[in-house]
Amino acid sequence: MVIVFDIGNTNITIGVFSGEHLLFDLRLRTDIGYTEDQYFAGLNALLKYREIEPGDIEGGIIGSVVPAVTRSIAQMFRKYFRKEPVLLTPNTKLNIKNLYANPSEVGDDRLANAAAGRVFFPGKDLIIIDYGTAVTFDVLDSKGRYLGGVIMPGLRLSLKALFSNTAKLPQVELKFPDKIIGNTTEKSIQSGIMNGAVSGINSFVKAIKKEIKSPAAQVILTGGDAENIPLTMLDAKNVHVDADFTLKGFKIIYDINKKE
């Protein structure tokens, strides 16, 4: 079995694979104050519940947007799993060509999404939308070239910014109101956040397709908050939704780089 760590700003998503098959995924809270021992205590309890011991894990890969936590997870893996994890570095082998002006600026999760897109949708122009704390739109052309993308705040980050920087606006539940025009402050905020998210997706997808001259580009939706976006409200058709797309991408990168 191979274990994948996708360290995000809010959660660490962990996938356990047997061959190409994702057996299950787990969540730990991202906390830069945690030591490798604290992270292992939480992870080991979850693995034991699934009757998995550290010795059952043959390898692992760590992708992260939080460098401080990367170090703790890597140290944990070496200490308790007694193996060297694959870490994404400028020397990591990929199945895509990174055309970013500064390739090292591209987040690990974005590279994983591109790697997965290249495998699952070969020969197609792709727009991969990862809807989490931040929302990323990543563009991969039919030749496997990573062109770049768009980054904007996610649902919860937008709501937090609005709530934190205004004195009288209340915290609200993330859900769609019945109408665009809210007749209460709560519904007005919900309309702005939720409908704004859908409008943002529709607007950027349309603009990206036009810019790359690919009206039939495949749209892929993943990320922790993807489930909050109704496909019926999206202009793009045949949107592929896969909550585990990033984990699968990291596993692909692991397979490319694993030592024989």
Q: What amino acid positions are annotated as catalytic residues?
A: 109
Question: Beta strands of 74-208 (E only): which ranges?
Answer: 86-87, 97-98, 126-131, 134-140, 145-153
Contacts (Cβ under 8 Å, ≥6 apart) of 67: none
Encode 139-178 in three state secondary structure. EECCCCEEEEEEEEECHHHHHHHHHHCCCCCCCCCCCCCC
Structural contact between residues 75 and 34, judged by C-beta atoms closer than 8 angstroms: no
Burial of 38 (0-12, 13-18, 19+ CB in 10 A): middle
Structural contact between residues 229 and 239, judged by C-beta atoms closer than 8 angstroms: no
Q: How far apart are CA 135 and CA 107, in angstroms?
A: 12
Residue 164: phi, psi to the nearest 5? -75, -25
